[in-house]
């Protein structure tokens, strides 16, 4: 019985399936931002995220960076190795705990940050520009709700 269609199987309509849509939209916009800096500064997505976090929270340890970027610690370790080698991040050892590193952007790191951050913001605006103001507001609220609690707005690192 060579049935051509299988309506009884209820296949997913991928293009209206939320996790799929999220993945496509997210990848598209992240890639657009990455294109802005990748070639230009020889900077990977991972490295940029580390820099963005250090721009906001000076003096974090590698583990804290991993926590805030939701990346695994191996990825962070490697990104840091490259960033330190390139002179974009400064790393020294914590005064009272010799295992921990204390991280921050160097002047060169800040220069790159100050060039890339506005481009990233522009991409965010481009994305929002495709929505009505009302939709923009809803999207913000919705994403705030959907963010897993451990990555969402914690208090800033103290100096």
Chain contacts with DNA (rule: CB under 7 A): 44-46, 61-64, 71-78, 80-81, 96-101
- Which position among 2, 9, 39, 98 is part of the footprint of a second copy (CB under 8 A)? 9
Nearer to DNA (CB atom), residue 99 or residue 158: 99
Rounded to the nearest 5 degrees, what angle is found at the Cα of 49, between the Cα atoms of 66 and 148?
55
Pick from a second copy, DNA, none: which does 122 bind, CB < 5 to 8 A by kind? none
Nearest approach, Cβ of 107 to DNA (angstroms)?
A: 21
Write out the binding residues for a second copy, residues 68-127 only, by CB under 8 A: 68-70, 110, 113-114, 117, 120-121, 123-124, 127
Contact partners, residue 71, CB within 8 Å, separation at least 6: 46, 49
Nearer to a second copy (CB atom), residue 81 or residue 139: 139
Angle between helix 62-69 and helix 45-56 axes, rounded to 10 deg: 110
| Residue 149, CA atoms < 13 Å, CB-side half-sphere | 0
């Amino acid at each position: 019985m060579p049935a051509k269609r299988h309506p009884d199987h209820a296949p997913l309509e991928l293009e209206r399936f939320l996790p799929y849509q999220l993945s496509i939209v997210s990848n598209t916009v992240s890639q657009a931002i990455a294109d802005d800096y990748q070639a230009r500064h020889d900077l990977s997505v991972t490295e940029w995220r580390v820099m963005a976090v250090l721009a906001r929270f000076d003096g974090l340890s590698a583990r804290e960076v991993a926590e805030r970027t939701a990346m695994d610690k191996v990825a962070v370790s490697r990104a840091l190795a490259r960033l330190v080698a390139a002179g974009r991040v400064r790393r020294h050892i914590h005064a009272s705990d010799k295992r921990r590193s204390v991280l921050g952007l160097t002047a060169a790191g800040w220069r790159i940050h100050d060039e890339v951050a506005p481009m990233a913001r522009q991409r965010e605006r481009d994305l929002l520009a495709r929505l009505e103001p009302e939709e923009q507001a809803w999207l913000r609220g919705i994403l705030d709700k959907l963010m897993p609690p451990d990555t969402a707005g914690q208090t800033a690192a103290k100096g």
